[in-house]
A and B are shown apart, each in its own frame.
Chain A
Amino acid sequence: MLDLSFLLFGRGNYQIDWNKIMLKINDLHAVVGEARSQILTGLSLKVPAGEVHAIMGPNGAGKSTLSYVLTGRDDYEVTEGTVELGGQNLLDMEPEERAASGLFLSFQYPLEIPGVPTMTFLKTALNAQRKARGEEEMGAPEFLKKARALAKELKIKPDMLKRPLNVGFSGGEKKRMEIFQMMMLEPSFIVMDETDSGLDVDALRIVADGVNSLRSPDRGMLIITHYQRLLDYITPDKVHVLAGGKIAASGDADFAKLLEKEGYDKYAA
């Protein structure tokens, strides 16, 4: 396990009622793109604070759509249903407001941002979130200290932090950079979209250690994955099958193994 106790500091005077933090999705319907294809067809899900839930399912079931609907991407339109995070109506908020309220998405394909150094990007993001929450901005020395310590833990070379974000990074480096950002931003709810894709075993372990260190009674997580592999390293509290745009079945951690063995065929119909 990583020693990440230093992450507990620096929250300032910001008071959150952590017991309320929970993702509550009710009867969610969503259409995508100009064609308005119906992808989510009445999805309901509750993730209590302190729990890690996994969402598994066949390709095209709506897994990535769910992550984009939660984070408010353009072209993903909710036609019915509600989503609440910590008692707040997420669907009324801009993507950056959702981020400031504690929602973090680890992207399946993290974007390259040419010309914007990683540290500049992250400091801008961190302080924009703090500003939106009415907190004091983090000064450069404190930010640098925290970033350097964390980079070391995640085996990220200091040189990478100076380079434009994700530009020329390998698939594994990009995923590690997602975890780095996640740990710097300390979100209260984390959605991970196919984080294991493109990772070798060593990188997978580093990523999983990072995620596990963030497990806490006041934080919820949703892990979206096609394969069971990542769940060998991050044990979920619950496993759900997403098929045909809604939750088709749910179970405990062992359910993932069964799904891996039996496949998703029987949920597809």
Chain B
Amino acid sequence: MVGVMNIINQLPHRRMEAWKWTDVSRAVPEGMPGLSLAMAPRFTPPAGISVMQGEGATSDTVMGKLAANFAGQSWNFHVPANTHPADSLLIENLISGHGRITIKLEKGASLTVVEHHKGADKSFANIDMQIHLAEGAKLTRILVHDDPETATRISTASLTAEKDTKFEQYVLSFGGALFRLETRLYGKGEGIEAHMNGAYLLSGDKHTDMTSHTELSHPNCHIRQSVKGVVTDKARGVFQGKFHVEKEAQHTDAEMRHDALMLSDRAQIRSKPELEIYADDVACAHGNTIGALDESALFYMRQRGIPLAQAKALLTEAFLASVFDDMADEDMKASLMKQINQWLEASYGF
């Protein structure tokens, strides 16, 4: 076991390439609540799915190792072959401490996981999720994050995906003192289809980092990733995305986009898209834009009588909406858009 005193030394810091824009060790003062405790999440599983505590899968990331040290046993979920629970697995109360969650979908099974990440004042949370998708399984993951300006949180999900699996991820983050969402996808078979979308809306002194790492080693995989961000005040948005395509992974079709709106001179956006490709017959692309709202469009809207703040909100909402376009659950989509609206009303002031 690692002692409390030297946890800080083990936290990722800016001199590590993958953490250069998200320095956890600096954000975490000694004695921060949750730093050496196990988390007590609340699960509402769908009918037929039960939660068991057990060893769980191991992780080799820095934060995963810390979670293994302090969280104790993992909360394990198992979806039997060809079962399709009608309801979602709801995960809440991820307030502070270290937590481990393992989700296994057997052949042809499907599941939707909905996570609410919300901390308390000055809390520290570290969640490590290990997911395995057996052949033909389908997982939809929806994550909503909204921390106080003083809370630090790292949420890592590592997935191993076998042949013909589908993974859909929708993330909506309103930031915290420091938030890192890391998604690691390891393809272990052909024909994997993954959509990994996210939006971050940050005001004040908040920070959200959306990092992903996708490794493909089999042919015919299809990956789509679109992350959009809005930063105001002194907020900081980070996007890091990597596609690693092995030479066996021919006919990979992968696209990565990050588009951000910077609405204040003091806000920051940092972006690092990376493609590492060893196969010679693939379509891999990335795009990255940072911009402001279109002044001419704003004037046009005001000339029609729409007040400036409301015009900005309409344009911003329209900018972000595409991230959630493909969501099958219309109610969930409406709920996410409503939260975006509330943020826009509060931040733009109308």
Interface of A toward B, CB cutoff 8 Å:
71, 73-74, 94-96, 98-100, 104-105, 107, 110-116, 120-122, 124-126, 128-129, 132, 164, 181, 185
- Among A74, A95, A116, max chain B CB count under 10 A is at A95
Closest to B313 in A: A124
- Among A104, A116, A120, A129, max chain B CB count under 10 A is at A116
User: Bound state CA distance, A115 and B303, in angstroms?
Assistant: 19
The smallest C-beta distance from A138 to any residue of chain B, in angstroms, reads: 13
The smallest C-beta distance from B55 to any residue of chain A, in angstroms, reads: 47
User: Bound state CA distance, A126 and B87, in angstroms?
Assistant: 41
Given A73-B299, A110-B300, A124-B314: A115 in contact with B322 (beta carbons within 8 A):
yes
The residue from A71, A113, A126, A132 contacting B301, defined by CB atoms under 8 A apart = A113
Let me know if B308 and A185 touch, CB within 8 A. Answer: no
User: Bound state CA distance, A18 and B204, in angstroms?
Assistant: 48
Closest to A99 in B: B305
Set of chain A residues within 8 Å of B315, measured between Cβ atoms? 113, 115-116
Let me know if A111 and B302 touch, CB within 8 A. Answer: no
The smallest C-beta distance from B30 to any residue of chain A, in angstroms, reads: 46
Given A74-B295, A113-B315, A113-B318: A99 in contact with B310 (beta carbons within 8 A):
no
User: Bound state CA distance, A132 and B350, in angstroms?
Assistant: 13
The smallest C-beta distance from B66 to any residue of chain A, in angstroms, reads: 41
Let me know if A99 and B303 touch, CB within 8 A. Answer: yes
Let me know if A164 and B318 touch, CB within 8 A. Answer: yes
Set of chain B residues within 8 Å of A114, measured between Cβ atoms? 318
- Is residue B15 within 8 Å, beta carbon to beta carbon, of the partner chain? no
29 A-B contacts (beta carbon < 8 Å) = A71-B303, A73-B299, A94-B302, A94-B308, A95-B303, A96-B302, A96-B305, A96-B308, A98-B303, A99-B302, A99-B303, A110-B300, A111-B300, A113-B297, A113-B318, A115-B321, A116-B318, A120-B314, A124-B310, A124-B314, A125-B304, A126-B305, A128-B305, A128-B306, A128-B310, A129-B305, A132-B307, A164-B318, A185-B304
Let me know if A121 and B297 touch, CB within 8 A. Answer: no
- Among B302, B303, B305, B308, max chain A CB count under 10 A is at B305
Closest to B297 in A: A111
Q: Chain B, 275-304, contact with A by CB distance < 8 Å: what is the 0/1 string?
A: 000000000000000000011110111111
- Is residue B19 within 8 Å, beta carbon to beta carbon, of the partner chain? no
- Number of B interface residues at 8 Å Cβ cutoff, please give it: 22
- Among B297, B306, B315, B318, max chain A CB count under 10 A is at B306
* Other A-B pairs, 12, CB within 8 Å; known A105-B303, A115-B318, A126-B305: A74-B299, A94-B307, A96-B308, A99-B302, A104-B303, A107-B303, A114-B318, A115-B322, A125-B304, A125-B305, A132-B305, A185-B304
The residue from B294, B302, B314, B318 contacting A95, defined by CB atoms under 8 A apart = B302
- Is residue B343 within 8 Å, beta carbon to beta carbon, of the partner chain? no
The smallest C-beta distance from A110 to any residue of chain B, in angstroms, reads: 7
Closest to B322 in A: A115
Set of chain B residues within 8 Å of A113, measured between Cβ atoms? 297, 300-301, 314-315, 318
The residue from B302, B307, B314 contacting A121, defined by CB atoms under 8 A apart = B314
Set of chain B residues within 8 Å of A99, measured between Cβ atoms? 302-305
User: Bound state CA distance, A112 and B301, in angstroms?
Assistant: 10
Closest to B318 in A: A115
- Is residue B319 within 8 Å, beta carbon to beta carbon, of the partner chain? yes
User: Bound state CA distance, A73 and B302, in angstroms?
Assistant: 9
Let me know if B307 and A96 touch, CB within 8 A. Answer: yes
